[in-house]
Amino acid sequence: MALYLKKELDNDALIGVWQVTETEEELKRLSATPADELEEISFLRSESLRRQRLAVRALLNEMFDEKVYLSHHDNGKPYIENNPINISITHTEKYVAVILHDEEDVGIDIESLDRDFSVVEKKALSEDEIEDLDDDRRNEQLAIYWCAKEAIFKRLSVYNVDFAEQIEIERFRPKGEGELEATFINKDEEEEEFELSYMTFDRHVLVWVVA
């Protein structure tokens, strides 16, 4: 099995990361995915996406003592049908990650640093955030900005968020792992503060928020 990381955080959240190395058939055996969900996954044209979905199921098997049933709200937010725990899920071609918390809402996002994030600068960053970019590690910094804003977006579970105007990330310099401070400004100009954590590994960035 390819369980890469399983870690309980100081705030009682649990993070799990699975490295997707198995074939589709191997993941089917490992994941014990319910028949109705297997049928849904089978309609995905991309083999990579099918493997990612199955890897999420395999990871959930590692994180729960009992068999759980994964579903999604109309807005795409995941939930466990037979457990009230809060959950957020993210995946790339190589890794899938999940964060859980019994009481607090959560958000998590992962991205590969081999991706070109230059488009993020144009569509998701404010002028102040763009000015803070470090030319030497620009793509990595952009990846962290994007993951942080995605994690907050998942935590909020609201529609039509303008990442550049409504989610502000305080200035930071990328390193192996660290903390981020962010502010979400809603449509009524009310502000909500968030503290996020991030780590980099194997050319990937993982960011999460618990609040």
DSSP-H helix ranges across the chain: 24-31, 35-42, 47-63, 118-124, 127-131, 138-156, 163-166
- Specify whether the CB–CB gap between 108 and 204 falls below 8 A: no
Average pLDDT over residues 182-201: 96
Residue 1 has pLDDT above 80, yes or no: no
Residue 85 has pLDDT above 90, yes or no: yes
**Tens digit of each residue's pLDDT (9 = 90 or more) over 5-53:** 999 999 999 999 999 999 999 999 998 888 888 999 999 999 999 999 9
Separation CA 171–CA 145 (nearest Å): 10
How many separate helices (H) and strands (E) can be counted in the chain? 7, 11
pLDDT bin (cut points 50, 70, 90) of residue 187 is: confident
Separation CA 202–CA 211 (nearest Å): 27
Long-range contacts of 187-190 (CB under 8 A, 24+ apart): none
> What pLDDT, on the 0 to 100 scale, is given for residue 143?
98
Separation CA 186–CA 163 (nearest Å): 11
**Tens digit of each residue's pLDDT (9 = 90 or more) over 161-178:** 999 999 999 999 999 999
**Tens digit of each residue's pLDDT (9 = 90 or more) over 104-135:** 999 999 999 999 999 999 999 999 999 999 99
Architecture of domain 110-210: Alpha-Beta Complex (3.90)
Please give the mean pLDDT across all residues of the chain.
95
Let me know if domain 3-104 sits in CATH 3.40.1190.20: no
Separation CA 2–CA 38 (nearest Å): 20
Domain residue ranges of the chain, discontinuous segments joined by + = 3-104, 110-210
